[in-house]
Amino acid sequence: MTYDAFSNQALGFTTRQLHAGYDPGQHLRSKAVPIYQTAAFELGSYERCERLFDYSEEGYSYVRYSNPTNDVLEKRIASLEGGTAAVGLASGMAAISDTFLTLCGEGDEVVATRTLYGGSTALLSSVLPTYGITCNFVDDPDDPASFERAITPRTKAVYVECLGNPVINIVDFEAVAAIAHAHGVPFVVDNTFATPYLFRPLEHGADLVVYSATKYLGGHGTVIGGLVVEGGTFDWLGGRFPRLEAYYQQYAARMGEERLRRELFSHALRERGLIDLGAHMSPNTAFSILQGVETLSLRMERHVANAQAVAEFLDAHPLVEKVNYPGLASSPYHGLSRRYFPKGPGAMMSFDVAGGLAGARRVIERLRVFDFMVNVGDAKSLVVHPASSTHYGLDPEECARAGVFPGTLRLSVGIEDVEDLLADLDQALGA
Ligand code: PLP
C-alpha cells in the first residue's frame, strides 16, 4: 500500500482537509498530527546548523520561527486555498498587522474599505499611523472606481474583507484586483467569514489571504490563531517592495530562485512577524485548528443552510425592519453573492429590530439558545449588539456609515438544529 494523499492536490476539498500536508511516514507513523511540545530542536552538527540558518536546508531550530505541527497546518491551509505557502500566527490580528508591517514602512499607505472588523479598522485608522503608515479608506466600496481614487504611489496594499462587517457587503473582487494590479499593488483579502470552502480569493485576483483562524477554521471557539496564505503569482520584485527585494537578493541562490519568487512574501512575513515581532502560534493551537479544519466543509454547509433559513425567517417577521444577508434575493449584494459565493455567503448576518435600542435589548435578554458573545464563527449560534460592543465609542454618524444602528443585532448562525434557532428567535422577538 502506498499512501500519498498528503501531497495529492488533485483530491477533493474534503479529502484534502483531512489529509493535505501531513505524511505519517515522517512522524513515526502517528496518524494524528503530533504536537511537538518543545521550544527548540537539537541542531545535529556544526555544518547542519549553518545550513539551517542560511536556509539552504529546510528544518527546525527554534520554535518561534517554525515547528512541525504548525508546518502541517500551514501546508494544509495552503492546499485548501490553492496558495503556494502559508504562515501561522498567534491571532487574526497578528496575521493582519504583521502582513501590513511586512508590506509597509514609514510613509507608506494602505487602501481599505471601512466595513471591516473593528480591530482592523482601529489598526488602520489609529495604530499604524503612529508608525507612519496611513490608510486611505475608500468612499464607496460598492464602486470599484473609488479604490482607484484612493491609490497613490505610496500604496502597498488594497485590503478588503470577503463579507463586510456587520452589513455583510461584498465588493466586486475581480474589478478591485484588476485596479490594484494595474498600479502594481497587491490585493489582500480577509477571508475569515467565508473560509476557503465557500470562497477562494486567490482564484479571483487576491494575492494574499488573511484569516482569524479563531473563527470557522478552528470552528469550536477554543483557541485564538491567525493565518496568512500567499498566492505565488504577485511580482514582488518590481521596485515597490525594497525589503522583499533585499530578502530575495540575500537568499535566492540558496533557496532556489523560482521557489523563493513564489513564496517570497511568506518568508519575509515569517522573518518580520515571527522572528522579529514574536507573534508565533503555539503548536497546541495549530493542533486544535487542524482538528477543526478536518470538518470544515461539513460545518460550513450546515452553517450556510441554517443562516439562509434564519435570514428568511427574520425577513418575514413583522418586528424586523431590515435583514442584511446576501443570500436574500432582496439584498443589494445578492448578484455578487451568487457570482462569488455559489455555495452560500457564509453564516453572518445583521438585522434591525423594531423599537430601536429597547427592542434589540429585549431580544438579547429573551434569547435562550443563542449565546450573547462578541465572538463569531463558532459551531454554536451567537448574538451581539454592535452599537454597545464591537462598535462601542464610534459616534452615531460613524456607526450609521458602518450600518450599525441602536436596534441592530449581529448573528453568527451556528450548526444547531435549525428548528431550535427559529423557535428561539420567534419567542425572543415575540408578537
Ligand atoms: N478578522 C475578522 C473578520 C474578525 O472577525 C476578527 C475577530 O473577530 C479578526 C480578524 C481578528 O481575529 P483574532 O480575534 O483571532 O485576533
Measured between alpha carbons, how far is 256 from 84 in angstroms, rounded to an integer?
Answer: 14
Q: Could you give the domains of the chain?
A: 11-292 (3.40.640.10), 296-430 (3.90.1150.10)
Cα–Cα distances (Å) from 35 to 74, 110, 226, 403, in that order, read 14, 37, 18, 43
Measured between alpha carbons, how far is 209 from 230 in angstroms, rounded to an integer?
Answer: 7
Please list, in sequence order, all residues whose beta carbon lies within 8 angstroms of the beta carbon of residue 115, skipping any fewer than 6 positions away: 141, 161, 164, 165, 167, 169, 402, 403
Amino acid at residue number 39: A
Specify the DSSP class assigned to residue 188: E
C-alpha of residue 209 to centroid of ligand 1, in Å: 13
Please list, in sequence order, all residues whose beta carbon lies within 8 angstroms of the beta carbon of residue 159, skipping any fewer than 6 positions away: 110, 111, 112, 113, 116, 120, 124, 188, 189, 190
Contact 93 CB / ligand 1 (< 6 Å): yes
Q: Are 295 and 219 in contact (CB under 8 A)?
A: yes
C-alpha of residue 107 to centroid of ligand 1, in Å: 26
Residue at grid coordinates 485548528: 289
Contact 377 CB / ligand 1 (< 6 Å): no
C-alpha of residue 180 to centroid of ligand 1, in Å: 24
- For position 390, what pLDDT does the model report? 87
Contact 119 CB / ligand 1 (< 6 Å): yes
Q: Name the residue with the closest Cα to ligand 1, atom 13.
A: 92
226 DSSP β-pair partners: 89, 212
Q: Name the residue with the closest Cα to ligand 1, atom 11.
A: 92
C-alpha of residue 252 to centroid of ligand 1, in Å: 34
Sheet with 187-190, edge to edge strand ranges: 85-89, 226-230, 208-212, 187-190, 155-161, 109-112, 134-137
Q: What is the dihedral of CA 108, 210, 81, 176, to 10 degrees?
A: -50
- For position 396, what pLDDT does the model report? 86
Question: Counting atoms of ligand 1 from 1, which one is nearest the CA of 213?
Answer: 15
Contact 224 CB / ligand 1 (< 6 Å): yes
Measured between alpha carbons, how far is 71 from 92 in angstroms, rounded to an integer?
Answer: 18
C-alpha of residue 431 to centroid of ligand 1, in Å: 35
Measured between alpha carbons, how far is 265 from 247 in angstroms, rounded to an integer?
Answer: 10
Please list, in sequence order, all residues whose beta carbon lies within 8 angstroms of the beta carbon of residue 358, skipping any fewer than 6 positions away: none
317 DSSP β-pair partners: none
Q: Name the residue with the closest Cα to ligand 1, atom 15.
A: 92
Question: Counting atoms of ligand 1 from 1, which one is nearest the CA of 165?
Answer: 3
Phi, psi values for residue 89, rounded to 5°? -130, 175
Contact 91 CB / ligand 1 (< 6 Å): yes
- Mutation test of ligand 1: which of 91, 96, 98, 117 has the most ligand atoms closer than 8 Å to its C-beta? 117
Contact 90 CB / ligand 1 (< 6 Å): no
Amino acid at residue number 317: H
Contact 226 CB / ligand 1 (< 6 Å): yes
Question: Counting atoms of ligand 1 from 1, which one is nearest the CA of 215?
Answer: 15
Contact 117 CB / ligand 1 (< 6 Å): yes
- Mutation test of ligand 1: which of 163, 193, 198, 215 has the most ligand atoms closer than 8 Å to its C-beta? 215
- For position 392, what pLDDT does the model report? 86
Contact 161 CB / ligand 1 (< 6 Å): yes
Does residue 371 sit in helix, strand or coil?
A: strand
Q: Are 293 and 115 in contact (CB under 8 A)?
A: no
CA atoms within 13 A on the CB side of 176: 31
Measured between alpha carbons, how far is 224 from 289 in angstroms, rounded to an integer?
Answer: 9
Contact 352 CB / ligand 1 (< 6 Å): no
* Per-residue tens of pLDDT for the chain, all 431 residues: 789 999 999 999 999 999 999 999 999 999 999 999 999 999 999 999 999 999 999 999 999 999 999 999 999 999 999 999 999 999 999 999 999 999 999 999 999 999 999 899 999 999 999 999 999 999 899 999 999 999 999 999 999 999 998 899 999 999 999 999 999 999 999 999 999 999 999 999 999 999 999 999 999 999 999 999 999 999 999 999 999 999 999 999 999 999 999 999 999 999 999 999 999 999 999 999 999 999 999 999 999 999 999 999 999 999 999 999 999 999 999 999 999 999 999 999 999 999 999 999 999 999 999 999 999 999 999 999 999 998 888 788 878 888 899 999 999 999 999 999 999 999 999 96
Q: Pairing relation of β-strands 371-372 and 348-353?
A: unpaired
C-alpha of residue 92 to centroid of ligand 1, in Å: 5
